[in-house]
Each structure stands twice: as C-alpha cells, then as structure tokens.
Amino acid sequence: MTVKNSISRRATKAADPSDRVFTALVGAASTLVVALLVGFILLLVLDSTDSIRRFGLGFLAGSKWNPVKTEINPIVFGALPYIFGTIVTSLIALVLATPLALGSAIFVSEYAPSWLGKPVAFVIELLVAIPSVAYGVWGLFVLVPIMRNDVEPFLQATIGKIPILGALVAGPPFGQDLLTGGVVLAIMILPTILSLSREIIAQVPRLQKEGMLALGATKWEVLSKAVLPYARGGIVGASMLGLARAIGETMAVTMVIGNSSTRISPSILTPGYTIASAIANQFTEADSPVYFSAIVELGLVLLLVASVFNIGSRVLVGRIAKREGGADA
Amino acid sequence: MKKTFILLSCLFIVAAGIGAQGKAGLGLIKSGDPNEAKNLTGAGGTFPAVLYTKWFAEYAKLTGVQVNYQSIGSGGGIKSISDMTVDFGASDGPMTDDQLAAAKGGKIFHIPTAMGAVVPTFNIPELGKDTLRFTADTISAIYLGDIIKWNDDKLVADNPKLKNVDKYIVVVHRSDGSGTTNIWTSYLTAVSDKWAKAVGAANSVQWPVGLGGKGNEGVAGNVKQTPYSIGYVEEAYAVQNKLPVGLVKNKSGKYPVPTTSAVTMAAQGVVLPDDLRVKVVNSDNPEAYPVVGFTWILAYQQQTDPAKALALTRLLWWATHDAQSYNAGLEYAPLAPDVVKKAETLIKAIQVNGMQALPATISK
C-alpha cells in the first residue's frame, strides 16, 4: 500500500456518504462498459469457433471467399481482400481528410473573423449528424459519375504516365472502387477531425500566442511555433478518431466501393470490398453454419484491425507528447 | 324466364368448366374457425414481403387471424424455422439437405406461394429503346468473364445492332445475399457446365467478374449510371422502374417476354417432384420464360399445437388457392394448376397428434 493510496482512502472516509454512493455508481458504470466489451469479444470468438478451427490462419491470408461447394471449388473463406480494402480505403480517407480538416480548423479558429468562424464551425458540426446512408446515396448518384468521367481519367492522364506510380491508377475507371470509397469516407470523417482539431487549437493558451506576437512574430510564426506544437498530440488524436470511424463505416462505403473481392491489385481504381460491407451484405443470407461462423469471424477481424490502429495511434500520440516534453525541458 | 334460366345455367357450366382446371378448392375459407389460433408468426425472404403484406391483411379481414411476417431474409427464415422460433418460415431458395437434416422439429415441407422471374437489364446508349436478345451461352459467358466486349461475335449473332459497340462489358451483380441471385445463378448452373463446376448456385456466390450493388436498387442504380453495363433484377422491380429488359432464349428456342403468365408456365406441364423442392429454371414448357423460381413457405409436417396447426393449414390452403388472385396485380406470378395440385397433397399431409391438421371439410 502506497502513501498516496492511504491518503485518498482517508479523504474518502472523511467525506460525505453521498460521495461513496457516487463512487459506487461511476465504478459500476465503468465496470459495465468493460464487461460489455469482454462479453462482446467472448461471443464473437464463440460464434466463430467453427470457422477458426476449419480455416485457421488461412482466414487471414486467403483471398478466396466461396460459400458454395462446386465440383472444382470447395467452400473456403479467406478475408484478405476485405482486410486489404478496409485498410486502403481508411488510409486514403485519412490522407485526404487530415490536411483539409486541419487547414480549415486553423482558418476557422485563427484567421477568420468570429462572425464568419462561428457559423462555419456550426455548419461543419451539423455535417457529423448526417446519417451515413445519405452519404452513400449521394456518393452513388453524384460522386461516382464525377469520379468515373472526370477525376479518374484525369488521374490516369497524369499519374498514370509516371512509371511505377502509374500502377496505382491502372485499369478501366468504373467509378466504383477503392478510391471512391476512400473519398466518401474522407468526406464523412472530415467534420469529426475538423471539429476536434478546432477545439484543440482553441485550447492553446492565449499567453503563449500573445508572447510570440509581442516578440514581433508574424502570424505564420505564431502558428507554426506556438499553436501547432502545442496542439500536435491532440490533432493526431483527432485524426485517429476519424480513422476509427472510417474503419467501421459500412453503408456509405458499401454503396460506392464496387463490392468485389475477386482480386487484390495495387491500383486504387480496382473495385474492392471492406470488412464492414462484407458483414452487412452477407450476414442475413449466410445460411450454412460455417458461412455464418465466417461472417462472425469477420467481425472479430474488424475489431482486431481497429485495435491495431488504435494502439498504433496511442503509441504515436505518446511519442509526440514525450518529444514535446523533451523540447520544453 | 325459361330462356334466362337456360342461359344462366349454361354460363354456370362454362364457368365451372373453366374453374375446374386447378381452381377447385377456392372459396372454402370464408371466416375464422373458432378452434384456430388467432396469431401466427412467420419470418423469411424479402422477395415475397410485398405480396405477404397484402395477403395477410386480407386474411385478417376474412378470418380474424393475425399473421405477423418479418422479412428478415431467406437465410434468417430458414434459421428461424429450424430453431422453431416461428410458426412458418419463408425462403426464395430451397433448403439444402444439410439444412433439412439440422431442423429441430423434424421434416419440413416446402409449400410454393408464388413465382418470380429475374431479368437481365442493360445500359447501352447506342441502342436507344431497342432490346437485346441473350442465350444461355452468351449470358453465362458474360458472367464468367469469357465474353468481355459487347461486339463479341456470339452477341452480334443474335443482336446485329451490337456490331459497332466496341466497348468492354461492365458486369453488375448483387452484393448482398438474395433469392434473386439464387434464381439467376441456378439458371446459369442449369445451362452452363463451366458455371456449375466453378461457381454454382446460392444466395451469394464467388463471382468471377463484376461489380456488386446492394439490393435491386443498387444493381439498377449501377446499371443506369454505368454505360455498357449489364445486371440482373427481379422482373417486378424492372417493370415498376421501367428498366430496359433483355429477352432470354428458352429451351425451345423462343424469346418469351417475361410476363407473369410466361413465368407461371415454367411450372406447368413439366415434371415436378412431389415435395416441390425444385428449381424450375430453364423449363421444358415452350411458352415459359427460363429464369424463374418459386418462393416457398416452410412448415413442419408434424405440428405440436392443434390450434396453431389448424390456423396454419387453413392459411396455407387459402394462400395456395384464393390468395393467388392477388399475385398478378403485384407483379408476382400465380402458381400453375399442376403446382397447386401438388401443394394440396403436401398441406393435407401436415399432421398434429397423428391426425390430418386440415379440416376434412376443406380437404374433401
């Protein structure tokens, strides 16, 4: 028992009894959350036992997803194309959304006059509340034709001409592919990253900024030397929250990604598939036990992918915070 | 007076003569039975949901029996009836032998309630309002990825207008598991050895090529927006949304327009097994549209609750007889007389406590 612990104990004893009730309540609440997660994982593992036993690691490494036994093709489930699609679309979304979100967060909180900044921030926060199926319908009917007719041919005419990089945009432009999935996701996670970054930038102590200005720094210098270093950890955290949303997003992506798991190719213009869309598409009609089990295992894999990203981002935020600490000292 | 009487009786005889062909058994259920359960629960496919909603509303008016149908998907329907959590299941694809063996309540009957067709739809700007003709060969080759351009010789042979359409075919299929896909892949399996060996038939399969759209609306949306694409949707959906519909050559070499009557013909005058657990694609009937299938209600042969058994068998009788008149209006094909006859045998074979569950007054 440490000194700190005994002090806090004594403090609790001395306090009002209502304090104890409250402690119990919040304790129970957090226990319940943890219990829910544990129960959730247990159920996923239990229901996917069939598939885990039958396919083992092949489930993660295999790229054939065949629910029907035929003369030459056995029933086999390999989730690699889904995992690949999930990671690629989420990364595209992150790469596209972060600079945009950060740019407008800086504009809204540092450059725009408050009569402009406040309503803009409000509108952006409204965007978070739009249901994802609405993004999907918009994506299918507005974005897909633009991607197919304008953006993708343009990419092929520019990047496509560069050796090696050209492979990224090879193949016929369908408009329904990993890139379009990523763009829809970017639009969806943009408001999340933006509103969080804006809050974080607003938290930068006034004194630091004013100090810089008093030293004769330009606006850019204030931003790059005082604001951004202070907010860096938070901004990375905001992007990671956006990424988490992108990984689990289902409906909007399903409607524009092409839902094809036939091949994994380096080109982002290939129709793809994400784990979440595979679950949404196939769950209701997964009519054999092993098929059902494989779909549940997909859920488990999705949880795994999300956890890996989450832990990765924790480490990243931690490193940044440490480096800042070092710089300050 | 006498003349009128003779005329009337002539009319009656003629009417009875028409009615006799498979239309016996109509009008036997006019009101509720005091001994029957007043609530039935069912779950299953989304394809018949529109029809069942109409049916069960009418049936409640007629008999006071409330039928609660949840359209959770055929897979869900099979699972629900296997676990005995519902009074009946519903499916657009027949249960497999493994599924039947896994059912907890014993033998399950497949009672057909309607038929549906799946049609190819396409988007080729050059064609304008012209339709396309497909054969078993060309459709399966397109979906296998063996025919990749619209001006392929095989396609041009049936459609001279495609000669100058030097474009790649964008193949669209359903991404979600569905009875529509089951009918489409069952047809491809029936007509193409290569398809049968490599892909097979099911609610969702491993597609050799193509983009996936979610639901009929997803496929139709993809085809509408993607020039030079081909997809497949339910016939009813194509009609309601005025999509271009391709014609498919049937076994006898004809190109029947997929009307509800051409769909019904697929199960008339052909050999059907007694359990009706059959795919009627590529029918021998020369008037039949070839890409069709049944949708079934799934019920246990051995019922345990007499009140429910009575309500269920009466409902099934009404569904396979009187209710068929609602089908065509909602773009579902009614059952052929041959099918109704076999369905009657199945309904009569449903038992509770070792006795026929259907009242003798109906089954006579």
Q: Determine the average pLDDT of the residues in B295-303.
A: 95
The band of B361, judged by pLDDT with boundaries at 50, 70 and 90, is: confident
Check A262 against B212: CB less than 8 A apart.
no
pLDDT for position B217 = 86
pLDDT for position A150 = 92
The encoded tokens of residue A129 equal 């509340």
pLDDT for position A15 = 65
Question: For residue A200, which phi and psi values (nearest 5 degrees)?
Answer: -65, -40
The encoded tokens of residue A181 equal 């999935």
How far, CA to CA in Å, does B118 sit from each of A48, B173, B194, B291? 34, 12, 21, 6
Alpha carbon B173 to its chain centroid, in Å, reads 19
* Complex-level ipTM: 0.78
pLDDT at residue B19 is higher than 90? no
**Could you say which of A65, A72, A288 has the minimum Cβ distance to residue B198?**
A72
* Rounded CA separation B216/B180 (Å): 9
Residues of A in contact with B78 (CB under 8 A): 287
Check A68 against B76: CB less than 8 A apart.
no
Taking CB atoms and an 8 Å cut-off, how many pairs form between chains A and B? 110
Considering only alpha carbons, which residue of chain A is nearest residue B208? A262
A140 in reach of chain B (CB within 8 A): yes
Which of A64, A65, A285, A291 is the best residue to mutate to test the B interface, defined by the most B CB atoms within 10 Å of its own CB?
A285
Check B211 against A145: CB less than 8 A apart.
no
Residues of A in contact with B76 (CB under 8 A): 284-285
* Rounded CA separation A132/B73 (Å): 23
What is the DSSP track for A282-316? HSTT--SHHHHHHHHHHHHHHHHHHHHHHHHHHHH
**Could you say which of A65, A259, A287 has the minimum Cβ distance to residue B206?**
A65
pLDDT tens per residue across span B96-121: 888 899 899 999 999 999 999 999 99
Considering only alpha carbons, which residue of chain A is nearest residue B176? A281
Question: At A143, which amino acid appears?
Answer: L
* Rounded CA separation B87/B80 (Å): 9
A286 in reach of chain B (CB within 8 A): yes
* Rounded CA separation B79/A229 (Å): 57
In percent, the amount of chain B with pLDDT more than 70 equals 94
* Beta bridge pairs of residue B232: B120
pLDDT for position A314 = 84
Q: Which residue ranges of chain A lie beneath pLDDT 70?
A: 1-15, 324-329
Single pTM value for the model: 0.83
Environment class of A144 (CB within 10 Å of its CB; exposed 0-12, middle 13-18, buried 19+):
buried
Cβ atoms of B77 and B341 within 8 Å: the answer is: no
Question: At A313, which amino acid appears?
Answer: S
pLDDT for position B10 = 44
Question: At B39, which amino acid appears?
Answer: N
* Rounded CA separation B23/B311 (Å): 22
Check A277 against B175: CB less than 8 A apart.
yes
The encoded tokens of residue B160 equal 């001279």
Q: Other CB atoms closer than 10 Å to residue B194's CB: what's the count?
A: 14
What is the rounded (10 degree) CA torsion for A285, A289, B183, B132? 70
- DSSP at A252: H
Q: What are all long-range contacts of B130-135, with beta carbons under 8 Å and residues at least 24 apart?
A: B130/B161, B131/B244, B131/B245, B131/B246, B131/B247, B132/B158, B132/B159, B132/B162, B132/B246, B132/B247, B133/B158, B133/B159, B133/B246, B133/B247, B133/B249, B133/B255, B134/B158, B134/B246, B134/B247, B134/B248, B134/B249, B135/B248, B135/B249
User: Closest by alpha carbon to B188, among B248, B229, B238, B129?
Assistant: B248
How far, CA to CA in Å, does A196 sit from each of A98, A187, A189, A242? 11, 15, 11, 10
Sign, Cα dihedral of B346, B294, A67, B147: positive
Q: Determine the average pLDDT of the residues in B308-335.
A: 95
Question: For residue A242, which phi and psi values (nearest 5 degrees)?
Answer: -60, -45
Tokens 């900024």: give the residue: A209
Check A68 against B211: CB less than 8 A apart.
no
Considering chain B, what is the average pLDDT of its residues? 89
Question: For residue B286, which phi and psi values (nearest 5 degrees)?
Answer: -65, -20
Environment class of A311 (CB within 10 Å of its CB; exposed 0-12, middle 13-18, buried 19+):
exposed
pLDDT tens per residue across span B196-215: 999 999 888 999 999 998 88
* Rounded CA separation B151/A259 (Å): 27
Question: At A1, which amino acid appears?
Answer: M
Check B178 against A285: CB less than 8 A apart.
yes
Check B226 against A148: CB less than 8 A apart.
yes
**Could you say which of A67, A262, A271 has the minimum Cβ distance to residue B208?**
A262
What is the DSSP track for B286-343? TT--SSEEEEEEEEESEES-HHHHHHHHHHHHHHHTGGGGGTGGGT-BPPPHHHHHHH
